[in-house]
């Protein structure tokens, strides 16, 4: 079976930064479960089905990746899947503060599950799904920040047929 990690997130939408984190995570783990959080309190741009499809297509070149969904506590999901590692990315000091608090709470809830942090690649340090959606909404060029499929879906969502791809 090998070592398995869960890489959780909302992935609304998946970015090249996410994909970079997953690829680098595969150097540490034999398998990664990319787990999309079902958060009914959050107003997502993409439906759960759309996010799942975009991730599955973006990750199809990897045979050791599984895309799944979960709700509730991440540590409960990890225990249910018999996984003992949660993979998370850190971009900035503000990420560290939030992730540190989450890791400590997760550790308090289940001491068997460890949090593993990777620094975001320098190329992606400023990217987030929120920033990419904001730029796309106003026609910014985000074509090299997301997979091609996501780029096309963002153009559809914001009705931006050509401007998003111009420099």
Among 27, 42, 60, 111, which one carries the catalytic annotation? Answer: 42
* Active-site residue, from 88, 129, 133, 155: 129
Contact 21, 87 (CB under 8 A): yes
CA 87 vs CA 26, 35, 45, 47, 140: distances in Å: 10, 11, 24, 23, 30
Q: Is 44 a catalytic residue?
A: no
Report d(CA 165, CA 95) in Å as an integer.
Answer: 29
The residues pairing with 117 across neighbouring beta strands, listed in sequence order, are 88
Sheet order of strands, 31-37 included:
65-70, 31-37, 4-9, 85-90, 114-119
**Whether 18 is catalytic:** yes
The yes-or-no answer on residue 91 being catalytic is yes
Q: Which of 24, 91, 107, 160 is catalytic?
A: 91
3-state secondary structure of 8: strand
Catalytic site residues?
A: 18, 42, 91, 129
């Amino acid at each position: 079976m090998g070592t398995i990690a869960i890489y959780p997130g909302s992935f609304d939408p998946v970015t090249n930064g996410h994909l970079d984190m997953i690829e680098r995570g595969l150097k540490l783990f034999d398998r990664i479960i990319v787990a999309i959080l079902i958060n009914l309190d959050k107003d997502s741009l993409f439906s759960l089905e759309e996010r799942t499809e975009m991730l599955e297509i973006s990750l199809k070149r990897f045979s050791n990746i599984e895309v799944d969904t979960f709700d509730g506590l991440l540590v409960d999901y990890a225990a249910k899947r018999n996984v003992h590692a949660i993979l998370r990315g850190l971009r900035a000091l503000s990420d560290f503060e939030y992730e540190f608090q989450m890791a400590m709470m997760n550790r308090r809830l289940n001491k068997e599950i460890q949090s593993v942090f990777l620094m975001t690649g320098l190329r992606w340090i400023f990217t987030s799904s929120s920033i990419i959606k904001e730029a796309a909404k106003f026609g910014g060029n985000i074509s090299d920040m997301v997979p091609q499929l996501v780029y096309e879906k963002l153009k559809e969502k914001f009705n931006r047929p050509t401007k998003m791809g111009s420099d």
